Homo-oligomer: A and B are copies of this chain.
Amino acid sequence: MTLTDETPAPLAHERLTTLGAALRTALDGPYAAERAVNRATYPAEGSLRPVGLGVEESRDWTLARLRALDEAGFGSAGVPERAGGHADPLEAVLTFETLAKTDLSVTIKSGVQFGLFGGAIANLGTAWHHDTFLPGVTSMELLGCFAMTELGHGSDVASLETTLTYVPATDELEVHSPTAASTKAYIGNAARDGRMAAVFGQLVVAGESHGVHTVLVPIRDEAGRVLPGVTVGDHGHKGGLLGIDNGTLRFDRVRVPRRMLLDRYGGVGEDGAYRSAIADPNRRFFTMLGTLVRGRVCVGGGGSMAARRALSIATRHALRRRQFPAPGRPDGVLLLDYVVHQRRLLPLVARAYAFGAAQNELIGALVHVQGEDESTERDQRELETFAAGMKAMQTWFANRAVQEAREACGGAGYLSENELTALRGDVDIFATFEGDNTVLMQLVAKALLTDYRHAWSALDRSGVVQATTRAVGEMVMERTAAGLMLDRLASTARRRPEETTLVDRGWHAMMFEDRERHSLESLARRMRAASKSGGDQFEAFNRLGPHVQFVARAHMERVTLAALVKLVDACEDAEAREVLERVCSLYALSSIAGDRAWFLEHNRVTAARSKAIGDQIDALCRELRPHALALVEGLGIPRGWLAAALLED
């Protein structure tokens, strides 16, 4: 492989293989230019927290680092500086992912301050809030908290107990935590740095509850002293993200002026009456939560960056480290020449490409909804479902990939100087925060079921009595360009499935579509049966839990394959494209292999063909082995951003 200067110019100091550069461009996709600029301009020096800092030092370091980054233009991107100011969702997401390529405490601190606190003000507030508070948010003079989660109500936002009661006599809101369970918990910026909190609670006006709303509550004075009525707890040491000062907040009848209520979707008028442009409380609730979708897009993408970082370290190590001499290899065999080792790392690398492609699609959807385009409520709802699924899939993947990378580096992987264990600790909680993954996957399945029901009733209304299940499935599944491309491939294979090879993209597409469609249909059937059954309704639905998870995963895998196929199709470099075709096959076959039992049970594959999948995966690993370095270069973590000691000579 020949070395070349990377384009664009600013990254001339990073030397990539030609293939690596082409793969990187392909994976960066529609945002290749922006990402290249971020890589070139990001002040990577000093971006990793020194090993072994305690809790307080980690918090100090993280805050200082975020301030420096904010000054360098890698902080408040995406938050407008005032009412009517420009807030570019693309810039926000790409900034977040750039940060996530280095220290995750800094990344999450930025998410808390700009994404959540700033995002709540920008999205739920109105002009006065914007003008009054956003300048302080973006300059980091006003550090804030996003106080949603309560001790007793982790994933169940609708059940929050905190009350925001309007007091007509003084035209104030009284913020109150009536029970220990209503204590706000796991709140970033609460334990130390925050001066103000966006507090979520039930808005009560004239004795009537109007559901969850958000109010800004000062919690500390300028000197950092906790204000009267506010009780702050410190979660202290955690499994990772030591740089974030997570804590608890409890309010004892704290009063704030009425205008502190973020009242874009509902508030209290000067007459002291509740008013909202959205009459249906349920719809209002989901509209408010919906504006927070960007956080999930960011966290999912951040998870993938952590995975890429870990896979870059482990793969580069496996290209240097030798163990056990063998015939013809007296100096020992390179780790990456062991089939077992290839099987450990390369399918994860392929999956990192697949999620990269899907994340590009998700970013596109976010920009469409939150950017300058016209968009519909359906677009918003689809974005939320997509974001929920991508957050869950990518953060689970990150945990798995970082752990596998750690083990693949053996004892060296356990030393903090090699970065993997800190990464592992940091990324762990990604599976839980911004929505517990299992709960998010339920949202995905629910959305699919809703679409499915709508499709049925639409066909029904149109008089198509013989509406085939297939037609319904198609209406649900293939709305995007990528989905349509995949469906065309599947249709081709469906004509003569027995003639396809194991690396036939049409066959992959068919298998992925069949898995989703069939499991969704049978879930819909079981749901109907459950709702009609007498007895304990909770238990009837409860039993479908594992099926619900399967459907959501099948859907996300299919959407991911569609995105990867589209990305490969868009690749103009012949050599890179050939490699990416194999990456795509490796992703597809690994996914099919994982559900081999399902495909066999549902007669989608013969025993003989199923048995051959493992060998085909081995063959793909073997074919990709010579391109391993280029593949991790393509993942977009510059070598200079990896400080792992084991990569030094």
Contact = CB atoms under 8 A, between A and B. Distances in A.
A610 B600 contact: yes
A417 B333 CA distance: 44
Contact of A240 (B329, B399, B421, B536): B421
B432 A236 contact: no
A108 to B, nearest CB: 12
Contact of A416 (B236, B322, B327, B414): B236
Interface string A521-556: 000000000000000111000110110010000000
Nearest to A159: B325
B416 A429 contact: no
A60 interface: no
Contacts of A546: 339-340, 343, 614, 618
B323 A155 contact: yes
A603 interface: yes
A338 B542 contact: yes
Nearest to A400: B403
A328 B238 contact: no
Interface string A357-390: 0000000000000000000000000000000000
A623 interface: no
A601 interface: yes
A323 B538 CA distance: 13
Contacts of A332: 156, 159
A429 B416 CA distance: 12
Interface string A18-60: 0000000000000000000000000000000001101100000
A52 B438 CA distance: 30
Contacts of A600: 596-597, 600-601, 607, 610
A97 interface: no
Given A416-B238, A416-B239, A607-B600, A329 B411 contact: no
A326 interface: yes
Interface string A423-455: 011001101110010100000000000000000
A154 interface: yes
A611 interface: yes
A330 B305 CA distance: 41
Contacts of A431: 407
B538 A239 contact: no
Interface size class for chain A? Answer: 35 or more
A415 interface: yes
A632 interface: no
A118 to B, nearest CB: 22
A264 interface: no
Nearest to A424: B239
Interface in A153-173: 153-156, 159
B536 A328 contact: yes
Interface in A613-645: 614, 618
A141 interface: no
A350 interface: no
A225 to B, nearest CB: 25
A71 interface: no
B411 A421 contact: no
Contacts of A240: 414, 421
A329 B410 contact: no
A345 to B, nearest CB: 13
B425 A421 contact: yes
Contacts of A433: 411
27 contacts: A52-B54, A52-B55, A149-B411, A153-B323, A155-B410, A159-B325, A238-B414, A238-B415, A239-B414, A239-B421, A240-B414, A327-B537, A328-B536, A328-B537, A329-B538, A333-B538, A339-B542, A339-B546, A343-B546, A403-B403, A406-B428, A407-B432, A411-B429, A414-B429, A421-B425, A424-B428, A596-B601
Contact of A415 (B236, B328, B421, B596): B236
B542 A154 contact: no
Contact of A238 (B153, B186, B239, B421): B421
Interface string A329-362: 1001100011110010000000000000000000
Interface string A233-245: 0011111100000
B323 A154 contact: yes
A431 B414 CA distance: 11
Nearest to A149: B411
Contacts of A328: 536-538
Nearest to A537: B327
A433 to B, nearest CB: 7
A414 B414 CA distance: 20
A136 to B, nearest CB: 28
A335 to B, nearest CB: 10
Contacts of A586: none
A106 interface: no
Contacts of A410: 154-155, 432, 436
Given A52-B236, A52-B237, 5 more contacts: A52-B55, A239-B416, A327-B536, A338-B545, A546-B614
A545 B340 contact: yes
B239 A406 contact: yes
A618 B413 CA distance: 37
A326 B156 CA distance: 12
A323 B428 contact: no
Interface in A193-248: 235-240
Contacts of A322: 152
